[in-house]
Structure 1
């Protein structure tokens, strides 16, 4: 199928999947169901686009496999993390402020927006399905993806164990990867998408999708990721301000020496 046709098919599939996810969210009474869908949504796009593309078989298989592994792991992680917790406060506040018919407004402001963002960010994956060959940039992309997936997976597991320990309540995680970056999972997520972008760079059209990893990285580092999370942590964790002073905000770096005041 031509690339334009694939883009239309994935757009339609993404919209349908988000509508189904919204129905599940309404049945569960939890709008944070969209968070669980985020990773698997990319996996779905990759699985739909792979057989439609006419590029290198190796490139299509590897791109789809890496996207599915990342997306499924993230979806399982978020589901296990959230299912025993109450509804995400962000969605509670949005529903309260929505006034009449909050479900419709949340569908438009959250679910439809997520569908558009997901489809746009997944463009490198879709364009990679039309790449000419599995060349040097593809191998570099796999290496970058592995670094990112390692940071994200290890960082999430370290945080899970930290939160599960009752002795750490109210404390700040500053060990392991969290000693070098305040957000190893976000940094890893960004690397994953730069790796997938490099897989798409076997063609000039794939290279033109650079705004997709840029958008993902900006969202994580400057948008709804890191800033919103840190705003809450500064209020709830007394030692977080000091942690911020000595620890890199995104890229892993050796801790800075903080002079006592």
Structure 2
């Protein structure tokens, strides 16, 4: 792309990595002090916001001001909402079972060092990689167009699914009558993972808002691709469903509800026909 400041962009990559690492280091220090490494999940969203703020500040005088501000705001709103939600959800709870199982395998019992290497550094690297559209958008010298506004619309859809899905789940769990039951209401009747689908839409939306040219798109498309892989095949949907496989009612819920993309739930007859066809 003619006029793209590759040198400034490369410098931004280093500062963005430093911002993500700084958030992880601070979170690690607090987690060691309180003895709970689930705090790293709060740092996930906060680190994206930090990368966006640092990139916006460094890119002053470069790129298109409208695109810079738009992408920074979209990223910070998403990241800070997620950080606050996870922080409130985990308040007063002990260690996350996922991390407890992982840390039980720490060589020589060095749980904190193992957590830093296998969780904090890994998540910091993923933040840097997934946020490539954010970093690259700050230096794209192209004004906003229809593709950017389409990205905003997709981002709004994603934030709706994520925020409303989280709220519906929180209200469901707060009712003692639902203890041991599977959440299958509201958005959770359309997809088994409205929050993960929301993340998927948010990051493809940010990618579209950032992609002012083929060059920017080609450099940064790895970000939403990596996020999509994590949500569907990595630590998101696949891992969560594996942990829920033996819960009463989950098999029936899985049979009638879309695994990721929202779809109307299958009727009992459709579920029965599908089960028979597979026998």
* Normalised TM-score (structure 2): 0.90
Cα shift at 1:17: 2.1
Report if the CA contact (8 A) 2:162-2:199 is conserved. yes
Q: What corresponds to 2:11 in structure 1?
A: 5
5+ residue gaps, structure 1: none
Partner of residue 80 from structure 2, selected from 61, 72, 91: 72
Distance apart, 1:204 and its partner CA: 2.5
Cα deviation, residue 154, structure 1: 0.3
Please say if 1:143 is aligned against 2:185. no
- The count of aligned residue pairs is 260
Q: CA deviation at 1:11?
A: 1.0
Deviations 1:122-176 (A, max 9, x none): 0001111112111111101100000000000000000000000111111111111
What residue in structure 2 maps to residue 130 of structure 1?
Answer: 139
- CA positional deviation for 1:62: 1.0
- Out of 178, 188, 191, which is 1:178 matched to? 188
Partner of 2:3: none
SS in structure 2 opposite 1:253? coil
| CA-atom RMSD in angstroms | 1.3
Counterpart for residue 94 of structure 1 = 102
Task: Quote the residue 1:28 is aligned against.
Answer: 34
The correspondence of residues 1-261 of structure 1 with structure 2, limited to 5 A, is 2-53=8-59, 54-100=62-108, 101-131=110-140, 132-208=142-218, 209-236=220-247, 238-257=248-267, 258-259=271-272
Contact 1:63 1:196 in 2 (8 A): yes
Contact kept in structure 1, 2:148 and 2:210, CA below 8 Å? yes
Offset of 1:207 from its aligned partner? 0.2
Structure 2 residue matching 1:2: 3-state secondary structure: helix
List runs of 5+ in structure 2 lacking aligned partners.
1-6
Output the CA distance in 2 between the equivalents of 1:65 and 1:254: 33
Task: Answer whether contact 1:127 1:205 (CA < 8 A) is retained.
Answer: no
**Which residue is 2:4 aligned to?**
none
Stretch of structure 1 that moved more, 180-189 or 198-207: 198-207
Bigger radius of gyration: 2
